Structure 1
Amino acid sequence: MILDEFSTDPCTGLPNFFGFLEMCSNSFFDETGAIAIVEISGIIHLKGTLGPKGTEDCIRALAGALRASVAAAPQQSGMKTTAFRYGGDEFVMILPGFSHAEAEREMAKITAAFQEYIKNQQLNGINLHVTIVEYFDPDARIATLIKAVYMALNRRHRDVGPSALPAWADEMMDGMAERIHRTLVLLREARTMALTDDISGLPNHRAAELYMEDLMKKHQNNGTPFSILLVDGDQLKAYNEISYEKGNEVIRLMGALLAGAVRHGDKVVRWLSGDEFLVLLPGADRKAALQVAERLRVYMAEETAKMEMPVTISIGVASCPEDAVDTSGLIKTAEEANNQAKRLGKNQVV
């Protein structure tokens, strides 16, 4: 998620305008299909009544209906239906292989689901406005879908508008979209390098700090617990005395074993130095974290038992909110617990 934040809308989790550009650039639409432009009409007049949270809840409700439609939609010729949050209260849905009539039926289901939400929340004056445009160009360029959205929105808000862009504007929009796409690719590559550890290939400590910030926000908003495990190998010094490359091999091995043994959704990152790793456990309280830590400790010992120098690990556990409710406090607790595990003779969980 962290590496996708350039192209993901934080409110809904759907691809944003940049995600729209990226997917257009990857030629993800079929020879024929439909584009649905969806707007929440009336929400701007209720912002004072709903407040920021109520407004976001309304936007998320529509995003949920779009996401459910995407999940249920049949895949056409290798192309898949995709939804985007294009702007404030504007969404775009690409329906490859759909005729106008098929797209209308699909959007009617989405409208019904959203209206049910509006009815349950007793929100008067909010409706959906849906515009459907078919496309027929198998060799469409990057800007094809952007132009279709622009035309639909222009007609919607002004009731009049050009039926096509002049040639110079067409070329300019296409070139602009391509340049934005290339810039996003470079930004993503630079961000990936900045957040990736060179030796293990795992996310690094910068990525860990971002992951923890995200988990801390979820705890503050929803009370969701989480835990961290500070894992430190017990044999790196001995391997480094053979050669630093041997030490690096052990670091890579440890990272791979840990990453392959954690639960779905857990994160393993290379921590600050040596053979230190941080494991982030979303939703895990201290009891669950201790169980995971013990399982990892046993697994590491078993998987390396036949090596000339088997690898063991010492693990310090810290949990939010039991041990701390801020990232620095959690790290301090985990470090102290890890030091205690070392003092107890290593190959321990504390």
Structure 2
Amino acid sequence: MDAQLNHAPCGYFSITAEGLLLRSANETLLNMLGYQSLELADRHIESILSLANRLFFHTYFYPYIQLYGHVKEMYLALRTKDGRDLPVLMNGVRLERGGELFIDCVALEMNKRIEHEKDILRTKTQLEALYQATQEANVRLELLHAEYEAKQQELLRLNAQLEALASTDPLTGLRNRRFFKESLATLQEAYAQNEQPFSLLILDIDHFKKINDTYGHPVGDLVLSSLAALLRSEAGPADIAARYGGEEFVVLMPGADRTGVIDAAERYRAGVEAASWEGLRITISVGAATISPGDTDETLVNRADHALYASKSGGRNRVTHAEAEAER
């Protein structure tokens, strides 16, 4: 470990997705908790948490970081080697290294609890008193723990549903802009590693504002939903169709080169033109771009967007590839 990180003015440690502590805890954290080097390695994170904070960790910290990928300014108490509770301010981030997920955390020692922790402290005191009470109370606690485990599983299931909802556009049912950006970054990384090609389409409904102004937003929403259904039916199994915003849609096409993406774009364009729109004439303009050396997420989207503008300015209801536009 880097010497500066090892003696940083805050504790640092990493855990696996299963909650096991790695051997990367820095000297600051070890001193905070009273452990020697490597004493924490391969132990579960629960081993340095009190019972109340285990519940807090599994109820708030772990589900939150699974859903959002990070936790900021969360207050809890670590259990020192001699059994004391050490209040800390915890930040965490979920990262992938070598194909595995890890959670990197920093802990800043706090001198006293803040107002927001009073409820947690009260719960901790009650739970610890119950834990040290009579055998009958211990039996009741075990039953409560079993009930908690069942509710925790339900919470994880609900969190999985929330994560799916967080990546879905509510009107069209397609993936949303956030999911598109994450997928684009993944494809960009794969291209940087092994030059695996991919292409991007940006599709825009022609004269959509006129449709809204003339027929109202309910009709406009129906057009958006119908176009989304057409994109789903025409997209390949690996393609990622998403609503980019307003009347703009995007399609990521892993493995598609310039010829392949143009063919797909023409298929989308012709499909929209030929579809029945309840007496309306609906067309789309399409801009396409294929990844090339030196591209970033932003430059690829910009090139596809410029190609879309060329399709619009060229008369609409047409497809333009960024390379073709650049060759003019």
**Smaller-chain TM-score bracket:** 0.5 to 0.7
Q: Distance in 2 between matches of 1:217 and 1:181?
A: 33
Deviation at 1:258, TM superposition (A): 1.1
Q: Distance in 1 between matches of 2:273 and 2:146?
A: 57
Q: Distance in 2 between matches of 1:169 and 1:325?
A: 58
Matched, 1:234 2:206: yes
State which of 228, 246, 249 in structure 1 corresponds to 2:222. 249
Aligned to 1:104: none
Aligned to 2:190: 218
RMSD: 2.8
Aligned to 2:154: 182
Q: Distance in 1 between matches of 2:169 and 2:200?
A: 19
Matched, 1:292 2:264: yes
| Identity percentage of aligned residues | 27
Deviation at 1:190, TM superposition (A): 2.5
Q: Distance in 2 between matches of 1:299 and 1:345?
A: 18
Q: Distance in 1 between matches of 2:254 and 2:145?
A: 42
More strand by share: 2
Say if 1:307 and 1:235 are closer, same or farther in 2 by CA, change over 3 A. farther
Deviation at 1:288, TM superposition (A): 1.0
User: Could you list the runs of 5+ residues in structure 1 that have no partner in the other structure?
Assistant: 1-5, 8-17, 19-51, 60-84, 86-165
170-179 or 219-228: bigger deviation: 170-179
Deviation at 1:172, TM superposition (A): 6.8
Contact 1:314 1:346 in 2 (8 A): yes
After superposition, the C-alpha distances for 1:16-40 in whole angstroms (9 at most, x for unaligned) are xx9xxxxxxxxxxxxxxxxxxxxxx
After superposition, the C-alpha distances for 1:97-146 in whole angstroms (9 at most, x for unaligned) are xxxxxxxxxxxxxxxxxxxxxxxxxxxxxxxxxxxxxxxxxxxxxxxxxx
Q: Distance in 1 between matches of 2:299 and 2:254?
A: 17
Q: Distance in 2 between matches of 1:191 and 1:269?
A: 16
Q: Distance in 2 between matches of 1:244 and 1:204?
A: 20
Say if 1:173 and 1:225 are closer, same or farther in 2 by CA, change over 3 A. farther
Aligned to 1:332: 302
Aligned to 1:200: 172
Q: Distance in 2 between matches of 1:309 and 1:182?
A: 46
Q: Distance in 1 between matches of 2:157 and 2:164?
A: 11
Report 1:317-328 matches (<5 A): 317-321=288-292, 325-328=295-298
- For the residue of structure 1 that corresponds to 2:319, the secondary structure is coil
Aligned to 2:282: 311
Deviation at 1:191, TM superposition (A): 2.1
Aligned to 2:314: 344
Aligned to 1:264: 237
- For the residue of structure 2 that corresponds to 1:271, the secondary structure is strand
Deviation at 1:287, TM superposition (A): 1.8
Aligned to 1:114: none
Say if 1:307 and 1:224 are closer, same or farther in 2 by CA, change over 3 A. same
- For the residue of structure 1 that corresponds to 2:245, the secondary structure is coil
Q: Distance in 1 between matches of 2:201 and 2:300?
A: 10
Q: Distance in 1 between matches of 2:146 and 2:234?
A: 46
Q: Distance in 2 between matches of 1:173 and 1:336?
A: 58
Deviation at 1:340, TM superposition (A): 0.6
Q: Distance in 1 between matches of 2:141 and 2:199?
A: 53
Q: Distance in 2 between matches of 1:326 and 1:170?
A: 54
Q: Distance in 2 between matches of 1:256 and 1:235?
A: 20
Looking at both structures, which has the greater relative contact order when contacts are Cα pairs under 8 Å and sequence separation is at least 6? 1
- For the residue of structure 2 that corresponds to 1:200, the secondary structure is coil
Aligned to 1:280: 252
After superposition, the C-alpha distances for 1:304-340 in whole angstroms (9 at most, x for unaligned) are 3x64222111000011126x53211111111101011
Q: Provide the TM-score with structure 1 as the length reference.
A: 0.49
Report 1:99-114 matches (<5 A): none
Deviation at 1:300, TM superposition (A): 1.1
Aligned to 2:181: 209
Contact 1:317 1:349 in 2 (8 A): yes
Q: Bigger radius of gyration, 1 or 2? A: 2
